[in-house]
Amino acid sequence: MSLFDSTPPSTPRSRVIAFDIEIANQFELAPGEDLEDHGPFDISVAASTTGDGSVRHWYARGADGRPARHIDATIARDMLTFLRREQSAGALVCAWNGMAFDLRWLGHAAGDDRLAAEVALDLYDPMFQFVSKRGFPVSLAAVADGLGVKETKLMSGADAPKEWAAGNHQKVIDYVAGDCRLTREVVERILARREVRWRTKKGTLSSESFAKLERVRDVMRAPPPDQSWMSDPKPWTSWFSWLTPFATRT
């Protein structure tokens, strides 16, 4: 039986649940270097919006009561269980690049890649869906700008591990919550407008039609995007290589 065969829940998707993680590992990326080359990652803090519009956080505490460097397997599994439960209840669970990054490393932290894969296959990931159409990624900030979302990112994601290590925990907790709210608003606008609009690196606006948002399992079935015009493209299948072994039960 293939995990791809799962059918969408019949419950109307009335709630948009967005989530995000921050990593604890500190390093400097060289120009053109892939972040994934530094994995596996530890997770300092994670968060998700909830059905009533509030934000729920997951992080560990040390013996002194202060936030610890990273979450443990129990906390990571609790978050995955929460997300899977929301999916089963009919929520539209989404994340920006959540399939390739967030869920991969949540599964690693939880010691439960299978549960992470189940969440990933039913995830709505507009960035992954965009890559399937255009062959390259686009940032959440660029899309938020293009769609006119007023809420902005509170810092660079690269700064979050440094701030966490420096003890500025609340700053990072607020940051990950803000990214959850930002993701949800972006997704809601994509749903309403049926397009992704983004601010290009040249400062112009561009757009890509989205007739509907699709689950990761359905995007994975799509033909590979045309990357023939790109000098050094990231191969299409490498976006979901961690997930492929879980797509079919033997």
49 within some domain: yes
Across 1-30, average pLDDT: 68
Across 144-157, average pLDDT: 87
pLDDT of residue 51: 78
pLDDT (tens digit per residue) in 62-79 = 999 999 999 999 999 999
Say if residue 7's pLDDT is above 50: no
| Helix axes 113-121 and 103-110, enclosed angle (nearest 10) | 150
233 within some domain: no
pLDDT of residue 27: 79
Across 4-29, average pLDDT: 71
244 within some domain: no
114 within some domain: yes
DSSP string covering 156-183, please?
Answer: -GGGHHHHHHTT-HHHHHHHHHHHHHHH
Percentage of the chain lying above the pLDDT 90 cut: 80
248 within some domain: no
1 within some domain: no
- The pTM for the full model equals 0.91
Domain count of the chain?
Answer: 1
Structural domain boundaries enclosing 91: 14-26+38-220
pLDDT (tens digit per residue) in 194-220 = 999 999 999 999 999 999 999 999 999
- Sign of the C-alpha dihedral, residues 77, 79, 85, 87? negative
Across 140-151, average pLDDT: 93
Say if residue 12's pLDDT is above 70: no
Query: Residue 56 maps to which CATH number?
Result: 3.30.420.10
250 within some domain: no
What is the average pLDDT score of the chain? 90
Task: Assess contact for 92 and 119: CB atoms under 8 A.
Answer: no
3 within some domain: no
pLDDT (tens digit per residue) in 84-127 = 999 999 999 999 999 999 999 999 999 999 999 999 999 999 99
